[in-house]
């Protein structure tokens, strides 16, 4: 059950409403937002609706008709636009995020940042903390990597998306990372999601290749219900049963997800293919299918990349992708007019 509020509350009003709910109604499991209050199923069972409607700031009550009411189009039918500094995601122009899988050195990130910016990418992606399937694989440069990103951000003025793997890292990420990436492995790490819900930074939530759309949107709901409206979904392919095709990008997922949610959706053609030769086709097809942007792995020397070199586009191939994307978006714009 959700209480929709008359307007976005300030801290004082929010506290007033919280006190009223807790003291008068003895509701224990509430999630408070500035725009709405979520009441859990257990409490919703017994609470008096008329009393709730008489509370200050409460506009109306929405009984839960969806497992993920805030992520669904039930309460918000128009698609969400999310601001990343001066940039917007979810509008008509696809937003392109590109860069190496992992921060390896200052020189490496600087060379890639320069190239992707020249080609028209809006956001630099690079991981400092790499959650790897094997404990023996490179785990990322950690704090040293963040320091490199801090320097690059200052020099190239590019917003940065980087994966966060534990809530304790939030403070260290705060002045350098503009979009907090939640990787496929952590899609259902609810403690992490709850902590990121309290942050005001946009969160890029990847779908684990083995999880369903409902499970993904429920994870998004954790972020929204906890107070962070800036959620960007990222599709990186599904596991298949075919040994020749360990992951595959299902184009249908774009429209299926967009029908269910107002949140922007971007595609990651690199992890969805595992092969740079396929990444371009997946990237262009995903945009054609309605994706709001891309997260692409690009490396200045893919053959020498410490992680995911096989699926990383060279800077030259990224430029080719951006050229084709420009043609594609021009066609899409022409169709709209």
Least separation in angstroms between residue 89's CB and ligand PEP is: 17
Which parts of 165-300 are beta strand (E)?
179-182, 203-206, 231-235, 238-239, 247-248, 265-267, 293-297
Least separation in angstroms between residue 285's CB and Mn ion is: 20
Does residue number 101 form part of the binding site for ligand PEP (CB under 6 A)?
yes
Strands 203-206 and 231-235: parallel
Residue from the set 182, 267, 308, 313 that interacts with Mn ion by CB under 5 A: 308
Stretch that binds ligand PEP, among 40-48, 58-66, 113-121, 180-188 (CB under 6 A): 180-188
Q: Which long-range contacts (CB under 8 A, 24 or more apart) does 246-249 make?
A: 246/274, 247/209, 247/271, 247/272, 247/273, 247/274, 248/272, 249/273, 249/282, 249/285, 249/286
Least separation in angstroms between residue 166's CB and ligand PEP is: 15
Among Mn ion, ligand PEP, none, residue 184 binds (CB under 5-8 Å by kind): ligand PEP
Does residue number 299 form part of the binding site for ligand PEP (CB under 6 A)?
no
Q: Which is nearer to ligand PEP, 44 or 179 (CB)?
A: 179
Does residue number 101 form part of the binding site for Mn ion (CB under 5 A)?
yes
Find out whether 136 and 178 touch, Cβ atoms under 8 Å.
no
DSSP class of 127: B
CA distance 310 to 199: 34
Stretch that binds ligand PEP, among 86-94, 114-122, 177-185, 259-267 (CB under 6 A): 177-185
Least separation in angstroms between residue 92's CB and ligand PEP is: 26
Residue nearest to Mn ion (CB): 101
Find out whether 269 and 279 touch, Cβ atoms under 8 Å.
yes
**Nearest CA-CA partner of 145 in 293, 314, 306:** 306
Strands 293-297 and 36-39: unpaired
Longest dimension (CA), the chain: 66
Residue from the set 69, 183, 293, 302 that interacts with ligand PEP by CB under 6 A: 183
Q: Which is nearer to Mn ion, 21 or 180 (CB)?
A: 180
Least separation in angstroms between residue 156's CB and ligand PEP is: 20
Stretch that binds ligand PEP, among 26-34, 40-48, 171-179, 182-190 (CB under 6 A): 182-190
Does residue number 236 form part of the binding site for ligand PEP (CB under 6 A)?
yes
Residues pairing with 4 in the sheet: 36, 60
Site of interaction with ligand PEP (CB under 6 A): 101, 127, 183-185, 206, 236, 271
Provide the binding-site residues for Mn ion, judged by CB under 5 A: 101, 308
């Amino acid at each position: 059950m959700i209480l929709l509020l008359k307007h976005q509350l300030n801290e004082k009003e929010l506290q007033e409403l919280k006190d009223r709910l807790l003291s008068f109604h003895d509701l224990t499991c509430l999630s408070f937002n500035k725009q709405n209050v979520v009441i859990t199923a257990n409490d919703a069972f017994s609470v008096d609706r008329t009393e709730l409607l008489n509370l200050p700031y409460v506009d109306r009550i929405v009984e839960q008709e969806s497992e993920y009411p805030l992520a669904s189009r039930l309460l918000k039918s128009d698609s969400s636009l999310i601001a990343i500094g001066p940039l917007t995601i979810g509008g008509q122009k696809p937003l392109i995020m590109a860069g190496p899988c992992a921060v390896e050195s200052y020189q490496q990130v600087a060379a890639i940042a320069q190239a992707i910016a020249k080609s028209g990418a809006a956001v630099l992606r690079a991981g400092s903390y790499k959650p790897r399937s094997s404990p023996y694989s490179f785990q990322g440069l950690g704090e040293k990597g963040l320091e490199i990103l801090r320097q690059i951000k200052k020099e190239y003025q590019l917003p940065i998306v980087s994966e966060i793997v534990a809530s304790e890292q939030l403070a260290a990420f705060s002045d350098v990372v503009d979009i907090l990436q939640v990787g496929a492995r952590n899609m259902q790490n609810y403690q992490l999601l709850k902590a990121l819900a309290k942050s005001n930074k946009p969160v890029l939530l990847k779908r684990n290749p083995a999880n369903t759309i409902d499970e993904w949107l429920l994870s998004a709901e954790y972020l929204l219900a906890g107070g962070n409206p800036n959620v960007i979904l990222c599709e990186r392919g599904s596991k298949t049963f075919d040994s020749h095709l360990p992951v595959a990008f299902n184009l249908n997922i774009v429209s299926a997800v967009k029908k269910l949610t107002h949140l922007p959706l971007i595609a990651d053609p690199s992890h969805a293919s595992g092969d740079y030769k396929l990444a371009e086709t997946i990237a262009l097809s995903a945009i054609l299918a309605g994706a709001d942007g891309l997260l692409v792995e690009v490396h200045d020397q893919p053959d020498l990349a410490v992680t995911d070199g096989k699926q990383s586009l060279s800077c030259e191939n990224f430029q080719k992708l951006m050229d084709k994307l420009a043609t594609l978006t021009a066609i899409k714009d022409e169709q709209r007019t």
